[in-house]
Amino acid sequence: MAPVDFINVRKSFGAVPIIKGVNIEIADGEFVILVGPSGCGKSTLLRMLAGLENITAGEIRIGGRVVNRMPPKERDIAMVFQSYALFPHLTVAQNIAFGLEMLGKPAAEVKTRTAQMLALVKLDAMAGRKTSQLSGGQQQRVAIARALANDPPLIVADEPTGRLDSVTAEVIFRIFQQLVAQGKTLVMVTHDRTIAGRVSRMLTIQDGEVLNQPAA
């Protein structure tokens, strides 16, 4: 279960307020996109949810747990960014398996889970290739597979299709839809408002505030 709650969340850099008392409820299994102009605070909200930015005031809860002081690795979140941040000297399969191996998972489990992720992102035939040999869209699919390898219930994605052409972006979006259909909760920052009708909700952020607050 991965419902998300922002409760009067504020973020300031020095005396400058960036997030101004945001309240958001995201139900388990929702696909929510955050949209708004550059500098409006949407990526800051996502980074606070992921634990990459500290909050100034308020509470963030994941699955009912207050996570304000919890490091990212303890939040059970998959993080997907515009930058793929892959290991170019490793193969596709090795990149996906890396996090599981760092967690000390048994070799058989690592092999099985890696195969499942390769199938999910349709890169089975490229398992042995170095990631430096892949296209941008293929690299983003590897990044998604690696992030999901430990099967977290919540996915946060910051402009994951920002570098991709429209056809490749559609492939990534359909993977996200498939994950939500499997019960994942997904929160994504994007500039693409055209997908609003294909997700659970679109929240518009402007000047650090949520303009629309439909019930979860």
Please enumerate in sequence order all residues whose Cβ is within 8 A of that of 177, keeping only pairs 6 or more positions apart, or say none.
31, 198
pLDDT of 2 higher than 90 = no
pLDDT of 212 higher than 60 = yes
**Per-residue pLDDT at 214:** 60
pLDDT of 20 higher than 90 = yes
The per-residue pLDDT for range 126-150, each reduced to its tens digit, is: 999 999 899 999 999 999 999 999 9
pLDDT of 215 higher than 60 = no
19, two tokens: 């997030």
Share of the chain above pLDDT 70, in %: 98
214 CB-side CA count, 13 A: 10
**Per-residue pLDDT at 213:** 64
Please enumerate in sequence order all residues whose Cβ is within 8 A of that of 186, keeping only pairs 6 or more positions apart, or say none.
30, 31, 32, 154, 155, 156, 157, 176, 179, 180
CATH 3.40.50.300 holds for 1-76+152-216: yes
Q: Domain segments of the chain: what residues?
A: 1-76+152-216, 88-149
Taking the C-alpha atoms of residue 182 and residue 29, their distance in angstroms, rounded to an integer, is 8
The per-residue pLDDT for range 148-206, each reduced to its tens digit, is: 999 999 999 999 988 888 898 899 999 999 999 999 999 999 988 888 889 999 999 99
Q: If you ran DSSP here, which 8-state letter would residue 194 be given?
A: G
